[in-house]
Amino acid sequence: MTVTVNPAPASATLATATLVTPTVSAGKGQTITLPTSTAYLKGTAVGNDGATIVSVYWRQGAGPKTASIGGSTSLNATITGMTTAGRYVFTLYATDNKGNTSNGSMTVTVNAATTTAAMTPTPTTAEGRFMTDSSLATDSAVIEPDEGMEIYPNPARDVLNLHLNNSETGRVTVAVYDMRGMRVRNLELDKASPDLQTSVDVGRLVPGIYVIEVVTGPKQRIVRKFLKQY
């Protein structure tokens, strides 16, 4: 008999491609307090290993109700309609030109509305100056109106929205004064991060010019005028 011995087959070389997905961030978590129901999301998406990002989109992943996402196919989105307190999760998805995808999520925490102090007017501590704490009357630092604070709409009819962004955290006092220097609104808020969004109910105020004063930190004040319209 004949026995034929064949050589061992050459080992096949398997090329294993390394999948490099985009680096995606949905930004830091945010906290707002009703009646504020809007948040502004700023995401980032970067391709790796020479890839470029070709598409992005936002999607809500969780929450007590469905919110609206403006600019859902861009890195910066505006979330509206979060009118129920709770935690809302939003995810940013990105795809690169090689077909790789990745995502990142963030949470918007919506707190229930805070109780507004009674509307009984309270005189200011000094003529022509708007103060919420008499201890600040001599050495408080007045910040320029547009530095770190935005109010809108102005003129306002029912609600004045306040967006505060500075390094101070802790207790924040928000007060509204009329042109006689009488305090007609007062809020005490807790600022846990540099970014704070809230709203002030001005619907029952008499139409006219008012001053909103925000005190952050031990001796920092931000003052801004606004018009209450009919």
Please choose, from the candidates 159, 188, 176, the residue with its C-alpha nearest in 3D space to the C-alpha of residue 212.
176
pLDDT of residue 217: 73
d(Cα 196, Cα 149) in Å, to the nearest integer?
10
CATH among 3.40.50.150, 3.30.360.10, 2.60.40.3080, 2.40.40.20 for 134-228: 2.60.40.3080
In the beta sheet, which residues pair with residue 77? Answer: 41
pLDDT of residue 35: 83
d(Cα 225, Cα 60) in Å, to the nearest integer?
36
The token duo for 103 is: 């995502």
Residue 62 and residue 88 in contact, taking contact as beta carbons nearer than 8 Å: yes
pLDDT of residue 136: 35
Domain spanning 23-111, CATH class: mainly beta
pLDDT of residue 129: 43
The token duo for 35 is: 């009646």
Element (H, E) at 99: none
Please choose, from the candidates 131, 153, 154, 152, the residue with its C-alpha nearest in 3D space to the C-alpha of residue 142.
131
> How do the domains of the chain map onto residue ranges?
23-111, 134-228
Amino acid at 54: V
Question: For the chain, which ranges sit under pLDDT 50?
Answer: 12-15, 116-146
d(Cα 91, Cα 119) in Å, to the nearest integer?
41
Intrachain domains 23-111 and 134-228 with the same fold: yes
Does the pTM surpass 0.85? The reply is: no
Please choose, from the candidates 111, 115, 103, the residue with its C-alpha nearest in 3D space to the C-alpha of residue 85.
111
Neighbour order of strands in the sheet with 53-62: 53-62, 86-96, 101-111, 30-33, 195-201, 159-165, 149-152
